[in-house]
Chain A
Amino acid sequence: MKNVWIPLTFAAFVLNACVTINIYFPAAAAEKAADKIIDEVWQTQKDDKAAPKANESRTAVPNTKKEEAK
């Protein structure tokens, strides 16, 4: 009878671990994700210089397409 309890305890533990996967909030990962987004929203000067260039090329593409269409 004693022997039954060992696997049963294990089973309870395993089930508990499996259920926790989907409920537990990953705080460390959330912090990393937040840092990444904050960096992008509050971009440093280097990125500020790169951003307008990207916008220029984006606006330039549709213009040339329009000209071609005409």
Chain B
Amino acid sequence: MKHLTKFWFVLFALCVSAAALAEADIKVSSPGITALKQSMHARHVQLRPYLDSGAVGLTADGMFALRDAGKVPLAQRQEVNAMVAAENQDRSALYAEISNANGHPEWQAEIRSTFAQRWIEHAHPGWWVQSGGAWKQK
């Protein structure tokens, strides 16, 4: 009986440590993720002025949105719209890629909401972010 209790205790301890190890890591390196990061960085350089002016904002679901089209000159409006659409496509792909790279495609929604919070947290002062359905300037 004593031995059996010991056995269960050891097994329990092993499982707990395994759980701790398994929980400690999220993989962020795969060829797909690297390519998406590069493409998003290149686009960020172009989109930055529109973030600064408040034409583009960060949504609560981890995306970009054209918040105030009036702040973009008519000639560039189509281009900015296309960039926002392309950025959102990359972001969706990034969330899917991270969950797939970690072997848990079902984590996509949680990864998206984690990113949404962190993008907003990292947003520069003056940028517009969505919180509780309303736009707010950081």
Contact = CB atoms under 8 A, between A and B. Distances in A.
A8 to B, nearest CB: 10
Contacts of A36: 28
Interface in B11-36: 11-12, 15-16, 18-19, 22-28, 33
Interface stretch (B73-81, B106-114, B130-138): B106-114
A33 interface: yes
A25 B110 contact: yes
Interface residues of A, number: 33
Contacts, number: 87
A40 B5 contact: no
A34 B41 contact: no
B25 A40 contact: no
A22 B114 contact: no
Contacts of B44: 41-42
B122 A40 contact: no
A63 B37 CA distance: 26
B71 interface: no
A3 B28 CA distance: 47
Given A6-B5, A29-B25, A40 B19 contact: no
A7 B23 contact: no
A13 B107 contact: no
A43 to B, nearest CB: 6
Interface of B: 1, 4-5, 8-9, 11-12, 15-16, 18-19, 22-28, 33, 37, 40-41, 44, 94, 98, 104, 107, 110-111, 114-115, 117-119, 122
30 contacts: A7-B5, A13-B12, A14-B8, A17-B15, A17-B19, A18-B19, A20-B19, A21-B15, A21-B18, A21-B22, A26-B23, A26-B24, A26-B25, A28-B23, A30-B107, A30-B110, A30-B111, A30-B114, A31-B114, A31-B118, A34-B114, A34-B115, A35-B118, A35-B122, A37-B115, A38-B118, A38-B122, A41-B37, A42-B122, A43-B41
